[in-house]
Amino acid sequence: HDALPIWNVVRLLDQGEVKVGHRLGEEVADGAPYLVMEYMPRGSLAPLRGRLGGQELIEVCQDVLAALAHAHAHALIHRDVKPANLMRDAHGRVCLADFGLAWRPTSLLAGGPLAGTPNYIRLEILDNEVLGPYSDLYALGCTLWALVTGQAPFAGRGVREVLRAHLREAPGDFRPLVDVPAGFEAWLRILMAKAPRDRFQRAADAMASLGDVAPDVVRVRE
């Protein structure tokens, strides 16, 4: 439908369980749960890796930060921010999808169960750190890195090597394939700092700093 998304999050429209005799492309067990989500006709940002730059890049940053701010305000850590989970509606606005791994951190369990996509995960759990909004911001940094350079910062390695690199290695040379605003790399590297205390602590902090990177395009979108 044509309604604008709320807070840049793909909306849940309905849910239920599959009844006997229903078929959804292939045989589905009776009682299997289903979700009906808002239609995103322009698909995910995954095909745009290495092709997203300039004003469009900054507007994507705005949209995703708005979505994360909304989730974090409800004490939810998404835990799987990546290009495939950033969807575009008919208006071109980017919305955050797939809250299947979302988690509410507590002081009783440091990092929570290990979950996420290796190329875009910050393993606070292995450093005995509590997950927080800064964890999603690290994943956003890896996502933006992929969107402007063509691949995630530690892509091309085995899973164990990728996880180890997230913990111990700084990203290598930043080589965008598209034009990016002056100061964008420095902003991006704050998102991707190894220690949570060295990152932006909230999406609002990252948004405010983004205004210094590209003041002409960072604004509340109408």
Q: Do the Cβ atoms of 164 and 174 come closer than 8 Å?
A: no
Q: Rounded distance, CA 132 to CA 104, Å?
A: 9
H/E/C letters for each residue in 192-213? Answer: CCCCHHHCCCCHHHHHHHHHHH
Specify whether 80 is catalytic: yes
Bridge partners of 14, per DSSP, are 36
Q: Do the Cβ atoms of 151 and 177 come closer than 8 Å?
A: no
Question: Can you read off the two tokens belonging to residue 124?
Answer: 């606070």
Question: Can you read off the two tokens belonging to residue 83?
Answer: 């290009």
Of 121, 35, 106, 40, nearest in space to 76 by CA: 106
Task: Give the position of tokens 């420095």.
Answer: 186
What is the residue type of 57? L
Which of 2, 14, 30, 80 is labelled catalytic?
80
Active site residues: 80
